[in-house]
Each structure stands twice: as structure tokens, then as C-alpha cells.
Chain A
Amino acid sequence: MSDETPTPAPPVAAKPASKPAEHKPAAPAAPAGPPDPPPPDGTALPAYIVALQAALPDAVTQLSLFVGDWTVIVPVTRLLEVALQLRAQGFDTCSDVTASDWPQRPQRFDMIYALYSIKDRTRVRVKVRAAEGEAVPSVSSVWPAANWLEREVYDMFGVTITGHPDLRRILMPDDWQGHPQRKDYPLEGPGELLMENPLDWLRLKQTANEAEIE
């Protein structure tokens, strides 16, 4: 048997446009932050926000109203005060704690606390902005329900949460490198290498990054 069988010629001019159905939405330039539209002028503030502003003047730096949802934006240093005040005002349920990542912004993380009052049937969201490494106080002393939810935020985003009773990864393995929900984390994950040898993976990633910069 001769091994001279000609290798099949590569298909000429494979149409690059033959895969239009990638269903990958074109990635537009990442926005620098959520819009947080302020309430239109003359909108009556709900009673709980009036009460919050009366109890803690200048704690609320920004108010936002979008499709009927009120959000109060507070500085990270006043978070615990605001949480305790809202808890005293009847917001006894912490429905959700989550974060969103805006890498373009100096304070890249938004921490969002979705609160609900069973008595008044009202919802409000509290939002703080934090830079990477900036300490966000844990609200699990105010609402024990926040315990696992904050662990998830720490696991997925790597937000530094202080004063948490049990801050460990919750969904990813304990020795995982990186935080999957960050916008700069690849969708397909770090690949096989990470599971076998995380240090090699980090080194490879670093060289790749440096090559990209050059």
C-alpha cells in the first residue's frame, strides 16, 4: 500500500457565512452600568421610602423607579444601617440577594437586595455599588435568609463580603479558581486543564493575556 494517496484538497473558499444560525447574539460594547432611571418629577414616594429618608437622612444617594419597581441606592458604608431600618419598617423577608458585574465601571459590582414585607405586601430593592476587594458588610445578621444567598454571590462574583458567619463557595468546588458569573469569565469555562492542574491553567491564561496585550 502506498502512502502516496493525495490528501484531499481543502474545500476552496469555505463560505464563512454558511453558519448564520449561530444564535450567538452579537456582543455590543458592554455598557458602563445600569440606567437606574429616576422617578419622573412629581411621583409620590411610597411611605416606606419617606420613612427611610426621615430616619436616615442622606443615606439614600439615589432613587430609581422602573416598571413599578422602586430601588434605593445607598453607599456601601451605610448598608447595615439601611438594612436594619428597613427591617424595623416591616421588610421581614429577604427574597433575594444577588449581584451584577459591570467591568467598565470603577465600582464594578452592584449588590442587589430584594426585600418584601409580608404585612404590607410591598417590595423594594436596595442596591450598593462596590469595587473589587471593597468590603460589603453581610446582612445575614439582619435577615438569616441572606446567608446562602451571599455565599452564592461570593462564589459567583468574588465580592468581598465581611462579617459573614460561614463564607465558603457554595455551588462551585472549594478549590475552584475564578468566579464564573463575572463578565470576563469565559462561557465555556476554563477547560479540562483547570480541573487537573489549576496552577498550569493560571500560568497559561497569564501568558495568553500578555500576548493579547502585546
Chain B
Amino acid sequence: MAPETQAMFDTDELVINMGPQHPSTHGVLRVVLRLDGERVVGSDVVIGYLHRGIEKLCENRDYAQIVLITDRMDYVAAATSNLGYCETVEKLMSIEVPRRARYLRTVLSELQRIASHCLWLGTHAMDIGAMTVFLYAFRERELILDLFEEFCGARLTYNSMRVGGLPQDIPPGWDRKVLAFCDIMDAKLPEYEQLLTNNRIWLERTKGIGVISAEDAVAIGLSGPPLRGSGVKRDIRKDEPYAAYDEMQFEVPVGVAGDTYDRYLVRIEEFRQSVKIIRQAVAGLPEGPIVGKVPRLIKPPAGETYHAIESPKGEIGYFIVADGKSVAPYRFRVRPPSFCNLQALSQLIKGHMVADVVALIGSIDVVLGEVDR
């Protein structure tokens, strides 16, 4: 081949910018990709486009006001963010939460988990090209939003927990509606699975994509379903039970291969387990007060603590330093599961096609409001 012709066929690496305005980055995520043809050889994940300084903001609000701000982090799973915060303050102040409130918190967090997983399933499948699942999943999510609306009046940012308990008791008949929803969910889950689990296109697009071993997953700090997809049986609901999870019977599903498909299977099984937990919690719902003995002015003693719970995305932890004198935390820190899981993205997409980047962003299920805070 003549040198000139050779030069024509020389290949160069191409750097392209994906996001921050991109429909399948689920918000304002920017990924700078270095490509060799269609294959990713390197990447840089750029975040911070939604940074609102929530930690700083919370250090200037009193403890009761912060519940409202935690809604704005993971806005598709506000109830679990609320719960994590309230439990941390309760731990700082050694407040005992009544049993009825703990049961209702369990019901709310599991409803929230189903809603969050519905959103994940719909958008993840749509990113890969399965449009129908999106409509199906949002149909069920809508029912949960209705339940939340009836409970606390809001459909997205619930403000649904208080330090020491709940803002109000459930409306009459709400528990029956929750049980009716459980039946609907049980009937609809096979529909999702029928569309995806054995779908050949779905298998081609997800099997063997973004494989991460158990050791690597632990080392990079994955938590929640992405960690369990790699076969690590770690679920804070089981390992360090909070709310009423110690009284519930449920399984922790784990994957084997650690690829996108196994992470999908883990979340699908989590739908079933959540329904199971909700049924138990509603059936065993004790009578009694819904707020514990909380002083009118929430002012924890000086000290610091870290408390983590299992949000739909993974381990959401709060680290609060109280100085014992002011009604605002001296230091307020959130350990955001989306942020820590997103760290693994560069590692996951290396060597895959550009189209798989979209599948992998969906697979780790990030919410940018929580990544950037």
C-alpha cells in the first residue's frame, strides 16, 4: 500500500462529550468518552451541574427544617432520604420510636422502593429500546404516588417523616388500599418479566455488559442492588436492621455474574420482596402512638454519629455533628449512594460500545439530585 493510502486508513482516537444535556443520562450527567471507533477506551465522569450546596444549607437550618431539604436529594425516593435523616437524629438524641411508627415507616420505605424501581425499570428499558415497559412501569408508579398523596399530600417531595415518628397517622382505609396495590403489583410483575426477562434483544444488550467482580464491587464502594448483582449478600435492612425490618421475613436476592442482566434480575426480585414486606407490615400493624417522646426544641447533645439505611439506590448514610448548643447541626454530611455508585461507571464502561454506556448508566440507577446535592 502506498504511504498516502496508508495514511488515509490511519485511525485516531476520538473524544466525544456525552451530556450534560442528554436524554439517557437521567439528569445532568456529563461523560467525556475517548473512543476507538465505537469502543470506549477511556472516560471521565463530570458531575456537579446540580450542586445546590445542600450540606451547607442544612448547617444553617434547624433540625426540623432539614427533613424538607432531604426530599430534594433523591427526589424519586424522598421517603427513604427522610427516614435516614430522622433515624440519625433519633440516634443522636436516643429517642425511642413507637412501634406503630416503625411499621408505617417500613411500609412507606418499601412503597418508595417499588416506586423508585419502577422509575428505574421504565427508563432503563427505554434507554435500551423497550418502550412499552416504560408505560407499564409508570402506570404502577402512579398508584404509589396516589397512596403517598393520600398519606401526606405530596406526590414527589413527601416530607413524610418527623424526628421521633411520623407527621400524622394514616387516613382511614389507607391500609386496605395498600394491600389492594400489593395485589395489583403481584399481577403486573409477570407482565414486566414477560417483556424483558427472556427477550432476546434484552439478553443481547444486557448479558455480559459491565461485568464487575465481587471484590472490585466492594473495593470501588458499590452498595445496594449493583453490589448484590455481583453476588455480595449485603443489605442494611438485614445486616443492621432499622425501622421494623428485624420483625419482617424477606430474602435478599443476589446475582452471580455481576453484569447488567443480573442487576436487572436483582431489582425485579426486590419488587417481590418489597411487596412481601408491605403485606407483613400492614397485617401486623400495631395500634398506638405515632410519635415518640420528642422535646419541642430538637437540640441533640454534643457529639457525632454516622447512621446508614438501605435506600433503593444503596447505602444512604448521614453523618451529623451536633455541638449541643445550637438548634442547627454543626456539620451535616450525606453519604449519597448514587455518588458512590457512579464512581464505578468509568470502570464499567471501559471496552464497551457507546450504546452500552447508556445501558450502564441506567443499570447503576443514579439520580443526579443526589449525586450533586
Indicate if B36 sits at the interface (CB-CB under 8 A).
Answer: no
In the complex, chain B residues whose CB is within 8 Å of the CB of A37:
303
CA distance A146 to B325 in the complex (A): 32
Task: Determine whether the beta carbon of A98 is less than 8 Å from that of B319.
Answer: yes
**Known: A96-B317, A100-B331, A114-B317. Contact between A171 and B306, CB under 8 A?**
no
In the complex, chain B residues whose CB is within 8 Å of the CB of A146:
221
Q: Which of A66, A101, A171 contacts B48 (CB 8 A)?
A: A171
CA distance A23 to B219 in the complex (A): 42
B372: nearest chain-A partner, CB-CB: A171
- Report the minimum CB–CB distance from A198 to chain B (whole Å): 17
Indicate if B65 sits at the interface (CB-CB under 8 A).
Answer: yes
Q: Which 10 A-B pairs have the closest CB atoms?
A: A145-B221, A171-B48, A100-B331, A96-B335, A66-B303, A25-B328, A171-B51, A28-B325, A98-B333, A35-B302
**Known: A93-B221, A94-B221, A171-B48. Contact between A35 and B303, CB under 8 A?**
yes
Indicate if B180 sits at the interface (CB-CB under 8 A).
Answer: no
Binary contact track B16-34/A, C-beta < 8 Å → 1, others 0: 0000000000000000000
Task: Determine whether the beta carbon of B304 is less than 8 Å from that of A34.
Answer: yes
Task: Determine whether the beta carbon of A93 is less than 8 Å from that of B60.
Answer: no
Q: Which interface residue of B55, B219, B221 has the most chain A CB atoms within 10 A?
A: B221
Q: What are 23 A-B contacts defined by CB distance under 8 Å?
A: A25-B60, A25-B61, A27-B326, A31-B330, A34-B330, A35-B302, A67-B92, A67-B94, A71-B304, A92-B218, A93-B221, A94-B221, A95-B315, A95-B317, A98-B333, A100-B321, A118-B232, A121-B240, A145-B343, A147-B343, A148-B340, A181-B56, A187-B57
Indicate if A123 sits at the interface (CB-CB under 8 A).
Answer: yes
Binary contact track B307-349/A, C-beta < 8 Å → 1, others 0: 0100000010101010111111011010100011001000000
Task: Determine whether the beta carbon of A24 is less than 8 Å from that of B305.
Answer: no
- Report the minimum CB–CB distance from B216 to chain A (whole Å): 8
How many B residues, CB 8 Å from partner? Answer: 48
Task: Determine whether the beta carbon of A96 is less than 8 Å from that of B60.
Answer: no
Task: Determine whether the beta carbon of A95 is less than 8 Å from that of B335.
Answer: yes
CA distance A24 to B65 in the complex (A): 11
Binary contact track A148-178/B, C-beta < 8 Å → 1, others 0: 1100000010000000000001111100000
- Known A-B contacts: A25-B326, A114-B319, A169-B48. Give 6 more (CB < 8 A): A31-B302, A37-B303, A96-B319, A112-B304, A123-B306, A172-B51
B57: nearest chain-A partner, CB-CB: A187
Task: Determine whether the beta carbon of A96 is less than 8 Å from that of B48.
Answer: no
CA distance A147 to B302 in the complex (A): 30
CA distance A88 to B371 in the complex (A): 30
Task: Determine whether the beta carbon of B326 is less than 8 Å from that of A112.
Answer: no
Task: Determine whether the beta carbon of B62 is less than 8 Å from that of A100.
Answer: no
Q: Which of B92, B221, B304 contacts A144 (CB 8 A)?
A: B221
